[in-house]
Amino acid sequence: MIRPAQQTDAPAMAEVLSNWIDDTPWMPRIHTRADDFGFCNGLLLRMQVWVADTADGLGFLALDGDSIDALYLAPAIRRSGWGSALLHAVKPRQSKLTLWTFQANHAAIAFYQTQGFQIAEVTDGQGNAEKLPDCFMTWEKAA
């Protein structure tokens, strides 16, 4: 089920995020797991956040205006439609969406492209905390 997130979702969100970082070989860990919890708690305080609440795990999407600042899924619910479902929950409310993702995250780039996003800019990563090459992607609602 897709639903608006609640503050009580912060620990599960942080676990999903932390596990993704730990399981991604090219992703440097520059924050502690406690920092990840603080980050997720802050998302809930400052942004619109939706969760995919399933028996197999949690996924979440954080939206700040038209910017998707986070979209993470527990491993058991990846590639099963929950990422698409989270996007479909926010797309009707938006005329456009933007996001940054790392160039090394080929699966994310391919996923977003199947959802109608296009790469608008690529950088060498000097503007992000991880110092990893990234790309800016955009989606606009069809007229």
Query: What is the percent of the chain where pLDDT is above 70?
Result: 100
Q: What is the pLDDT of residue 143?
A: 78
- Give the tens place of pLDDT for each residue, 129-138: 999 999 999 9
Write down the domain spans for the chain. 2-140
- Rounded to whole angstroms, what are the CA distances from 115 to 33, 87, 110, 138, 143? 30, 8, 9, 10, 16
Superfamily of domain 2-140: Gcn5-related N-acetyltransferase (GNAT) (3.40.630.30)
